[in-house]
Structure 1
Amino acid sequence: MTQNTQQIDGRDEAEIRSVILGYVEALDGRDFGQLADAFTDTAELENTFESYIPGGEEFTGVLARGANEIAGAIGDLMRRLDATQHFLGAIWVEPTDEGVRARTQIIAHHHRGTGFYHTGGTYTDSFVRTDNGWRIDRRVLHTLWTTGEPSVVTGA
């Protein structure tokens, strides 16, 4: 059950930031099952890339729907890598009619062997309050720039 609110306080904002940070910790810690905890059962994960980025079309669109499917899809993608490290920058949080919108700057390092693929972009998350606290109901990862070889992530 979802309980929406139009107002948030400091505790709400801290919990939302904790969900975002917990997601990255699970991702880089390779605890892909824990990733599901960040999302609702109806969540949607979408990727978009700036049109000039080579190889971006392979990852553009809805990646998965539902907490477990999202965790599984991310796990499938990240398992082919030897290491990742995600750095978060500014996090903006604002109430909406449905819950909360959060935007987070991100730089992600992806490594396989001696190859690398680094990206920079923004998570735009729609959060809703659930019986288990604030959870992401929709995430759009918009990649603004990349450097390195996309094949590191695609496995090609």
Structure 2
Amino acid sequence: MSDSDDFAHRLEALENRAAITEVVLRYARAIDRCDEAMLRSCFHPDARHRHGNFDGASADFCGFALEIVRKVELSHHQLGPVSIELAGEVAYAETYYTALHRFGATPPPSGEPHEDRFSGGRYVDRFERRDGQWRIAERRGISEWMRYEPAADRGFYDGPADQRGRRDRDDPVYRGG
């Protein structure tokens, strides 16, 4: 293999890793912003999904997950390292995550939240590149831990509303900052 071939191979591997990582990041944004179109764009149409009590088509998981997330007052997913093994048109990825889900009868500031659920785990994914696009073909969500705490904001909602994230397309990320 020549130096230019080796460089091209390494560059392609970096491009593939970046594209796969972007899908993983897009998934977290889609869940936290309740963006169904973005969430569905992370999966191939025939993708499979196992996460918690769900085992079925990823297309069905998208609706299932958003139904749950829309009922909580907020969610926030933080992603850790993404480890990717490339194998031609297939790739295997493992991503660590932590998540917060705020449960309550009515959203602040009008009501009192009653519980924060923190969890951590991993997404174990099989990606496939089809028609030049990397998407998840199979996802398994693995839970490692969960912690339940009474909700406490200590004045968070006293600050300007435009300084807090939103769970829709009015969030600053959709306006470019």
Answer whether TM exceeds 0.5 for this pair.
Answer: yes
Corresponding residue of 2:84: 93
Relative to the length of structure 2, the TM-score reads: 0.68
Corresponding residue of 1:65: 57
SS in 1 for 2:21: helix
Amino acid at match of 2:69: M
Corresponding residue of 1:112: 103
Residue 103, structure 1, aligned to residue 107, structure 2 = no
Give the distance between the partners of 1:44 and 1:12, measured in 2 at CA. 21
| Structure 1: 5+ residue stretches without partners | 1-6, 48-58, 150-156
Corresponding residue of 2:24: 20
Distance 1:98 1:10, change over 3 A: closer
Greater relative contact order (CA < 8 Å, ≥ 6 in sequence):
1
Which is richer in helix? 2
CA drift at 1:70:
2.4
| Structure 2: 5+ residue stretches without partners | 1-9, 105-112, 150-177
Matches within 5 A, 1:75-90: 75-90=66-81
**Which protein has the larger Cα radius of gyration, Structure 1 or Structure 2?**
2
Residue 144, structure 1, aligned to residue 144, structure 2 = yes
| Deviation string, structure 1 residues 102-135 (Cα, Å, up to 9, x no partner) | 0000001000232111110000010000126100
C-alpha RMSD over aligned residues: 1.9
How many residue pairs end up in the alignment?
130
* 8 Å Cα contact 1:15-1:134 kept in structure 2: yes
| Deviation string, structure 1 residues 10-56 (Cα, Å, up to 9, x no partner) | 11100000000011111111112320000011111102xxxxxxxxx
Distance 1:27 1:132, change over 3 A: farther
CA drift at 1:60:
3.2
SS in 2 for 1:70: helix
Name segments (4+ residues, structure 1) moved above 6 Å.
Answer: none
